Structure 1
Amino acid sequence: MQRIHMKNQHSEIFEPQSLVESNKPIYWINARHLHTGYLDHVMAVFDRIGYSKGGPDSEWDVLWSHDYPFTELQDKISKMRSHQKVNHIPGSGFITNKVTLVLSDIEYIPKAFQMPQQKFSFKQYVKEHPEKLWVQKSNNHRGIHVRNVEELDFSADNTFVQEFIQNPYLVDGKKFDIGIYTVVASVDPLRVYFYSGDCLIRYCGKEYVMDKFDDVNTYVVTDDYTPTWKMPSLQKYYIDMKFSHKESLYAHMRSEDLDPTKVDRQIEDAIRKVFLSKLPQLRQSLEKYQHKNIFFELTRFDFVLDEDLNLYLMEVNMSPNLSTGHFAANKLLYQQVIYNTLSVVDVARNIPVSLKLSTEDQELMRVSLRDIQTDPEACSSEECKGCHEVKCQLCNRCLNNEVRNALSDSFLEHLNRRQMKRVYPESLTRDESMRYQDALDDGLPTNDKLLRKWYRSKCIQEESWCY
């Protein structure tokens, strides 16, 4: 295969093969230093699902950009057609920007203060909580050290001071973080999933020592972290029993009479609350684009636990590391995350043809109006000859094209989600769905209300839709 390197100030582009099937879908990778191999797994998955490599001037179907593309590539993105997809969402920086995230009023985020703007509020808080320790961070997240108040720099611009969790849950004496891969399939209406098959768990290089913070390797996860297969208490699960990273950790928790389902509940709740808290900004960033369902985003939420299994969100990573440069054994995890992501957002299709060549018959074969219909008893009743009653608003004749398209996308996501678990709209049991069947949730835009009601109605029809 001939590769042509096109270099400019920002990126390196791989052009497609000179001879490719005209109906084969095309992906374009936009990233710097591609020759180093850090996106090899992304390209491998695209190749396996039937895509050809393209460039900025090809008839591409999917753009995978490592960097935030809405500056350098704004002209191309503003002209995107309805069949094209891009792997970032306008406004996602409201979630992945560290300063913006930590200053959100979300219960799972340790207390933080922006410097120098909030130094007086911080000093007042310290008087009320003198026992707490702090770390000072910047957006590039480098040089983290635990500090006493006297050691903090209150004049450092674009930094924040955040509470340090002093009593972490330890495995073999080591602190760790839990990386949850999360996918936004749509902003309007909001649909969020996370990869439930496994997660990235990184253990510190050295054992944690309470009140001794001169060595950052005892409390900061670095690139040379300790992997699961080198943790003595986890080896029997991960190596001998072939458990995943997550299930190895959870098995260890259960051996200590701890309940890991508490962790799962908190993870889902935290992810939901982060996206809902930033939904107005995400919606506003999306307004100038004609096609609002062409964007998706894969991020990694990094959490830590305290000794009582209380969960704390430390950061959300845009374009999370998917390279096995340090640990080749993570190859399977990364490729499964990529494949599940492309599947749930309808990029990895069962019909390997360019998205731009899809016919009406082909799309109807995949999902039709009959598939998205719910509650036929209500829709055929005398009350639903009009569309004024709440229970009638999901009848096909009452739906506008925008809502129909959103429900069709949601239907396909459910079928194609593989190991992606829907976290928003949240799961409800069948009994809960029946209880709230005719409710329209207050405080949400109309499309979001209808989508939540639709999932409840589908759950009542068929229990597999509840989760």
Structure 2
Amino acid sequence: MASKKEIFENNSKPKVNKSKKCCEFLNYVASCEKHNVFSVIIATIAIGIILFISLDECRKCFNNTKGIKCSQQKIQIVESEKRKVFGVYTLTNDDGFLHNLFDVLEKVGYQKKDFEESDNWDLLWAHAYPFRSLYSKLNNLKPHQKVNHFPGCGYITNKVDLATSGLKYIPPAFKLPEHKEKLLEYVRTNPKIQFVQKDNNHRNIMIRNISDIDLNQNGTFIQEFVDKPLLVSGYKFDIGIYTIITSVNPLRVYIYNGDALLRFCPVEYYPFDPENIDKYVVGDDYLPTWEVPDLKSYYKSLGFGMKESLNAYLRSKGKNPDVIWEQIEDSLRIVIMNKEPKIIEVINRFKSKSNFFEMMRFDFVVDEDLKVYLMEANMSPNLSSAHFPPNKLLFEQVIYNLLSIVGISQRIFKDTLAMNENETRMVSHNKNIAVYPKECNSDLCNNCDDLICGLCQQCLSKEMRLDLLTAYNEHMNKADCKRIVPPPMAKDGTIPENYSPKNQLMYKWFLGKCLMDKSWCN
């Protein structure tokens, strides 16, 4: 039995209402259910928002991608429309031998069209001399149109005229029948010298006895034979230098300095046999550099070009190849400057001289003492690699550098070489050609009489200003080309002898640029 105390304590505790507890529990459960529903609703809304945002982003992404594709299509259309135009002039309908030229022109934004159907072209590439048959068209060129020859360039490339010019570095030659008596006298005084007979096509070259030659034959010449040539692996070879004339009066000349074309005779020189021309005449089926034993490793394994392969070989033999290249550059200067007056005479028959440029290949041989001889100049050198596919890189780089330096490969994206005034100013302007600040700001140039003053802005003629702007652009775009005219600047500023007034002025301008920036000195 419970004690009275326990009974009292039990009676003193408040009595719990069971029905009330049940209600409280039910209310709690209901409250939880409300919270769960609310949570589900919030979660559903959040998921919906996320899905909406994701779908919207996907839609935007899809639209953007579609827009890019459309934009790319529009760009491609614009690019196809914005292509400059070039035409080709040849004596035949076959121009397949110019395939490397066409490839490079296409890469820099040109398309080929028939230039005779329209005057809206930018470049005319003539594989043959065009100025007789196309005189009326080429005498009325638009300022931006370019032609890859100078009127009168034949004075340089004519084989007979060049060989018989008597200039330094050219073996003595005698034109027949005009120089018949001079030839016979030269033979009498030099009885051990051998001679080759040539014509203007430079074909059928062969060592001949004077007694076997018809000295009254027209169109040929007799030239002294270089009988002790420099040999590599026993083979005689010649060196082809790609030479670019960008201006005449004033004269500016560059060479492609990235490489040279080396061609070797297919048969070893010794034992010598004058009846076997493959021993001493470089023909179309010449031996290429990559098949010459002493050069093969440099060219194929080490990746050098032809020029540097030859340089490396000569240095390995204790010879200095710089002697060769210095003579070659000197020879080019002498020949081109000698022929410039005759070219000027022909150019003066045309309304403008700024539309023309020239690329020739001059061929040289070297003797065992590293003395250089100029043999010929080619007006339209072979640029096809069909016969020797590895030459493709050389030809493409020659073409690309040529197009760059003469302004045909423009950096401005347009469908024409023509530029408006704002574009021209952007490329080059007066500040880029300003030189001699001290002299131009002095009393010396108040009357513009001094040679240097002719380069000051207050004295500069309109024609010379255009020449200087073009020269500035050439320097900025010369890439792997080297300027040889004007020549490297003399430390004392002395102008080379026999320079015409305009050539003197151009030399002084380059000297002025050299004094401000050493990159202009060479």
- Structures share fold, TM-score greater than 0.5: yes
> CA separation in 1, counterparts of 2:417 and 2:407?
13
Task: Check the 8 A contact 2:410/2:417 in 1, yes or no.
Answer: no
Counterpart of 2:90 (choices 31, 36, 44) is 31
2:249 maps to a residue whose letter is D
Asked if 1:86 is matched to 2:147, the reply is yes
Quick check: 302-311 or 378-387, which moved more?
A: 378-387
Q: 4+ residue runs of structure 1 moved beyond 6 angstroms?
A: none
Of 406-415 and 22-31, the range deviating more from structure 2: 22-31
Secondary structure class of the residue paired with 1:280: helix
- 1:305-350: CA deviation from partner (whole Å, max 9, x where unpaired): 0000000011000100001121000000001001111111111111
CA distance in 2, matches of 1:121, 1:442: 30
Is the CA contact (8 Å cut-off) linking 2:243 and 2:253 kept in structure 1?
A: yes
Is 1:416 matched up with 2:477?
Answer: yes
CA–CA separation in structure 1 for the residues paired with 2:442 and 2:235:
62
Counterpart amino acid of residue 101 in structure 2: V
Match of 1:155 among 216, 230, 238: 216
Q: 1:206 aligns with which of 267, 271, 292?
A: 267
Match of 1:313 among 338, 355, 374: 374
Q: 3-state DSSP class of the match of 1:38?
A: helix
- Residues of 1 paired with 2:81 and 2:347: CA distance? 32
CA distance in 2, matches of 1:336, 1:154: 44
Match for 2:114: what amino acid? G
| Structure 2 unmatched ranges of 5 or more | 1-76
Map of 1:177 onto structure 2: 238
> In structure 2, what is the Cα distance between the partners aligned to 1:38 and 1:379?
52
In structure 2, relative to structure 1, the CA distance for the partners of 1:191 and 1:282 (3 Å cut) is same
1:32 offset after TM fit, Å? 4.5
Indicate the SS of the match to 1:270.
helix
Task: Work out whether 1:245 is the aligned partner of 2:341.
Answer: no
Query: By how many angstroms is 1:23 displaced?
Result: 4.7
What SS does the corresponding residue of 2:188 show, helix, strand or coil?
helix
After TM superposition, the structure 1 = structure 2 runs for residues 255-334 of structure 1, keeping only pairs within 5 Å, are 255-334=316-395
| Superposition deviation, residue 22 in structure 1 | 5.5
Deviation at 1:356, TM superposition (A): 5.3
Residues 1:460 and 2:519 are matched in the alignment: no
Q: 2:501 pairs with 446, 450, 453, which one?
A: 446
Amino acid in structure 1 at the alignment position of 2:506: L
The one-letter code of the counterpart of 2:134 is L
Counterpart for residue 258 of structure 2: 197
Note if contact 1:49-1:352 (Cα within 8 Å) is conserved in structure 2.
no
d(CA) in 2 for partners of 1:411, 1:443: 24
Matched, 1:41 2:41: no
1:443 is displaced (CA, Å) by: 3.7
Give the percent of matched residue pairs that are identical in Structure 1 and Structure 2: 42
Rounded Cα–Cα distance in structure 1 between residues aligned with 2:247 and 2:271: 43
- Aligned-residue RMSD, C-alpha: 1.7
Output the TM-score relative to the length of structure 1. Answer: 0.92
Q: Which runs of 5+ in 1 are unaligned?
A: 1-17
Q: Which structure shows the bigger proportion of residues in helix conformation? A: 2
Distance 1:421 1:95 in 2: 20
Check conservation: 2:126, 2:147, Cα contact below 8 A: yes
TM-score (norm 2): 0.82
Shifted more, 307-316 versus 446-455: the winner is 446-455
SS of the aligned residue for 2:274 comes to coil
Distance (whole Å) between structure 2 residues aligned to residue 390 and residue 224 of structure 1: 52
Name which of structure 1's ranges 47-56 and 347-356 shifts more when overlaid on structure 2.
Answer: 347-356
Q: Write the deviation string for residues 62-94 of structure 1: whole angstroms up to 9, x where unpaired.
A: 100111101221121111111111001111111
Shift of 1:280: 1.0
Q: Distance in 2 between matches of 1:285 and 1:464?
A: 34
Of the three residues 371, 377, 394, the one matched with 2:432 is: 371
Deviates more, 1:374-383 or 1:413-422: 374-383
**Which letter maps to 2:163?**
V
What is the letter of the counterpart of residue 229 of structure 1? W
- CA distance in 1 between counterparts of 2:406 and 2:260 reads 20
Task: Encode CA deviations 1:190-230: one digit per residue, 9 max, x unaligned.
Answer: 11100000010000000002552111111111111111110
Aligned residue type for 1:44: D
The range that moved more, 306-315 or 382-391, is 382-391
SS in structure 1 of the partner of residue 112 of structure 2:
strand
- The count of aligned residue pairs is 444
Separation in 1, partners of 2:97, 2:274 = 32
C-alpha deviation, 1:376, in angstroms: 1.5
Is the 8 Å Cα contact of residues 84 and 355 (structure 1) preserved in structure 2?
no
Alpha-carbon contact 1:440-1:450 (below 8 Å) kept: no
**Local SS of the residue matching 1:39:** helix
1:217 aligns with 2:272: no
User: Are 1:67 and 2:137 counterparts?
Assistant: no
Q: Hey, what's the Cα distance between the residues in 2 that align with 1:212 and 1:172?
A: 18
Does the 8 Å CA contact 1:133/1:164 hold for their aligned counterparts?
yes
Answer yes or no: is the 8 Å Cα contact 1:168–1:306 preserved in 2: yes
Structure 1 residue identity aligned to 2:308? E
Query: Between Structure 1 and Structure 2, whose CA radius of gyration is higher?
Result: 2
